[in-house]
Structure 1
């Protein structure tokens, strides 16, 4: 009976992967945990809590080196924390396919920039680049300033010098910012707690996180049988209906106003304030306008990538400033020298560009707490890694957070030291691939300039209003595509005035 079951499993594996493929993968001589027939190295992950995963990967890195492999069933996964192999993969124009873990996002994001690949990705990247032209980014500063002002007011009742979880406040502010800049529509997340859209984003984030925690839900077949699949469908419909309604309404407005395309327009962004959506509505692929579905995928992608990652960056930077009052005061001094002490003075694009020390602080925060701690690719062809030929269909995981804390790349890596990024100081790392909070190569983050402006605007607003007096305990970190504090993130603060 048992042997019959084993033979059936073996036949299935041979049909799915082929004898040559299985032999090819198992012939790769890369160190890693012991693998068992059929289940691979999965036993090493058994009973791991979400908050243990990063530490566990770190322990494997210490044991097996900066390139090791783990077998998930018959699937070969490499984990890399060295700059040489990172550069090989990230600099490639061919190795741009995302790994299988990103499939959880497909029902929401479809085939947008984050999840598309090959020529489709290149086409999307080309048409989206104008959305991040500095003249358009400059127009977003008013949104950043206004929404961060609302955040400062919402924090006022908590400014008692007692520890408070700031993560929910920052999340809603980031959601307001990204929605208004992406779609040109305010959802008032910070002031309207009953917003259906806000509730849907919150619930979908929870459901997606569940698919990482509940290993059995990683199987589409089993997930589709669960009540969570029905809940997911319901909230995604709310999100898609909202963005579709906004797209159709804005498209009609543009048709009625006779708006011209952006191609070759030297006055890009100089007439009326343009949202990310407006650029998409006026863009073309091979001479045709984008469909509502294609635009929806890009807007939803921008919403997902824009609110979650900036929330993480803002919250952890505030935590580090609360722990380091001397650095916090240097930031405050720079801000007031540039803007003044009047809390009602709006920030400008030039103001944010001049905040050089705050930028160093943000970069150091992103080193210690990169919002995307591990990025992953799926090889679509044979690739040479560490002098060894690795077969296609291999997953390649790059441990950014481990590289950023590698003592061979950064001296005293656990210390918060913004001066590492002083342009007048020679950078410590020997490779441009040692520090990659926005990834690197052709598939780097298209919105990193947008993100830096938003971070500067929001952080400068909070620091102008409040002195951070205490930091809570080190948060337990969990990884769900992005880095999350498991139980929130606590700081204490009092009014500057």
Structure 2
């Protein structure tokens, strides 16, 4: 009987304990929800004076206003910034998250020039499964130490070593484009993108994937699909919870693409480490013999040898983070800039003739590869690239998460707000760029740029977290464009409204860039 009585008591104690645990968990959850609602209400009240769009819905805010497709969403964003350009900033609510859109140079400077406001937006967390906490997504001490460690790898003398790769891939591209000479208009966007992908793979990883020859690469498809699903998720608060996201088709697709991307990068890193060990063994065996496996140096090789202030090397995971970041940031952006340049040059033959004249001055009739000295002399072409990036910034918007309250244009913007900079609208401010829709490379002549607000033009961001790879990007764009334009003449009859601009992670034309090609000088006056 005693054992029976003890058993019953034990069962009751277990029941009471379980009931207490459930009650405690429920109370804790309720308390957390209450705190979230209180924080939401407090921020709502504090941010009330900032101008907003329409009437946001409770809890979901403006999320239901936002168009689902990249094309429709970007057109919506353009419409808002044009309609409210007279306002210094604009407030939106994405679920319980406050957002301020900035497209005025003086206000953009407040955020980008701050040494405190360096945290990337919480929206970037959706890139972390792919990129980890690399240079793009990290913050605080990790970002500062990683930036300091990696800056020397982007020194111009190191970038010069990549010029051979850029020339080789640009020549393959031109050979493919020549098949379209004197033919009907065609969409050149994918041609340029595959060339840029080959360049970044070989310069970042030392791996030639032959994307220009093999357009159906599993890795290539995974890169593009991953970009699309990440951007869609950013706009939909109901897909932010990881467990919930995996219940949807896009969540499973995200998981599948992630596996492909990481497997590829991990294999390349492992191959490179093995090759470096073999090279070292060969050097030890015979210092007079060049190792048979020696290849051109890539960013990956530099990452494998770089050390921090305490002499520590990067781990395998650290290296993969940075290689994946280079891959993500280093091909789509440059490809977009080159495509937009071809579109604008094809639409403005008078500008293309000036580029033509400059190419004659620098290269004459020679079809030799471009050198770093040649690229320095292509000053007008550089102005063309800069003006292209003004009209069509490769990254149409980027964001910071405010780590402290700050004042912007006399308004208090609270900690935790997402400050979204919109270069597409910023670069069209008539105060700094009269007749902003006109394509005029002369805007970037030194005498014309003098006195312009330094934050009126930020295609590579600005301040402490500016793009570490901007010299690499300009070098690649000059190399590819000069290679194309030394052999071919570009024509484009597409109107702006026919492009179908989509401001996703990258500014893309959903309808493509359609051009006609002729032999160079055929139409030159």
TM-score, scaled to structure 2: 0.85
1:57 to 55, 60, 77: 77
Structure 1 runs (4+) deviating above 6 angstroms are 10-13
In the TM superposition, residue 27 of structure 1 has moved relative to its aligned partner by 2.1
Larger radius of gyration: 2
Partner of 1:283: 306
1:31 to 51, 65, 74: 51
Alpha carbons 1:25, 1:391 under 8 Å: kept: no
Note the residue ranges of structure 2 that are not aligned, 5 or more in a row: 1-26, 284-293
Q: Following the alignment from structure 1 to structure 2, what is the Cα–Cα distance between the partners of residues 213 and 166?
A: 29
Partner of 1:361: 384
Note the residue ranges of structure 1 that are not aligned, 5 or more in a row: 1-7, 261-270
In the TM superposition, residue 429 of structure 1 has moved relative to its aligned partner by 6.1
Can you list the C-alpha shifts for 1:168-223, whole angstroms capped at 9, x where unaligned? 10110000000000011111100123433223323333433543577754553432
Q: Judging changes above 3 Å, is the alpha-carbon distance between structure 1 residues 39 and 228 closer, same or farther for their aligned structure 2 residues?
A: closer
1:325 pairs with 2:344: no
Alpha carbons 2:90, 2:101 under 8 Å: kept: yes
1:487 pairs with 2:498: no
Alpha carbons 2:442, 2:448 under 8 Å: kept: no
In the TM superposition, residue 489 of structure 1 has moved relative to its aligned partner by 1.4
In the TM superposition, residue 428 of structure 1 has moved relative to its aligned partner by 6.6
Give the 3-state SS of the residue equivalent to 2:491 in structure 1: strand
Q: Following the alignment from structure 2 to structure 1, what is the Cα–Cα distance between the partners of residues 215 and 69?
A: 31
Q: Judging changes above 3 Å, is the alpha-carbon distance between structure 1 residues 16 and 308 closer, same or farther for their aligned structure 2 residues?
A: farther
Partner of 2:466: 444
Q: Judging changes above 3 Å, is the alpha-carbon distance between structure 1 residues 249 and 42 closer, same or farther for their aligned structure 2 residues?
A: closer
Partner of 1:263: none
Report how many aligned residue pairs link the two structures.
476
Give the 3-state SS of the residue equivalent to 1:426 in structure 2: helix
Partner of 2:97: 75
Can you list the C-alpha shifts for 1:384-405, whole angstroms capped at 9, x where unaligned? 2222332211111111110101
In the TM superposition, residue 476 of structure 1 has moved relative to its aligned partner by 1.0
In the TM superposition, residue 15 of structure 1 has moved relative to its aligned partner by 2.8
Q: Judging changes above 3 Å, is the alpha-carbon distance between structure 1 residues 24 and 102 closer, same or farther for their aligned structure 2 residues?
A: closer
In the TM superposition, residue 20 of structure 1 has moved relative to its aligned partner by 5.4
Q: Judging changes above 3 Å, is the alpha-carbon distance between structure 1 residues 206 and 69 closer, same or farther for their aligned structure 2 residues?
A: closer
1:182 pairs with 2:218: no
Q: Following the alignment from structure 1 to structure 2, what is the Cα–Cα distance between the partners of residues 401 and 13?
A: 39
Q: Following the alignment from structure 2 to structure 1, what is the Cα–Cα distance between the partners of residues 235 and 38?
A: 33
1:223 to 226, 240, 245: 245
In the TM superposition, residue 50 of structure 1 has moved relative to its aligned partner by 2.6
Alpha carbons 1:92, 1:441 under 8 Å: kept: yes
Can you list the C-alpha shifts for 1:222-265, whole angstroms capped at 9, x where unaligned? 321122222222222222122112212222333444499xxxxx
Q: Following the alignment from structure 2 to structure 1, what is the Cα–Cα distance between the partners of residues 32 and 107?
A: 30
User: What pairs up with 1:94-493 in 2 under 5 angstroms?
Assistant: 94-211=116-233, 216-258=238-280, 273-285=296-308, 286-343=310-367, 345-423=368-446, 425-427=447-449, 430-474=452-496, 475-493=499-517
Give the 3-state SS of the residue equivalent to 1:173 in structure 2: helix
User: What pairs up with 1:5-44 in 2 under 5 angstroms?
Assistant: 15-17=34-36, 19=38, 22-28=41-47, 29-33=49-53, 34-44=55-65
Q: Judging changes above 3 Å, is the alpha-carbon distance between structure 1 residues 478 and 216 closer, same or farther for their aligned structure 2 residues?
A: farther
Alpha carbons 2:401, 2:417 under 8 Å: kept: yes
Q: Following the alignment from structure 2 to structure 1, what is the Cα–Cα distance between the partners of residues 73 and 253?
A: 27
TM-score, scaled to structure 1: 0.90
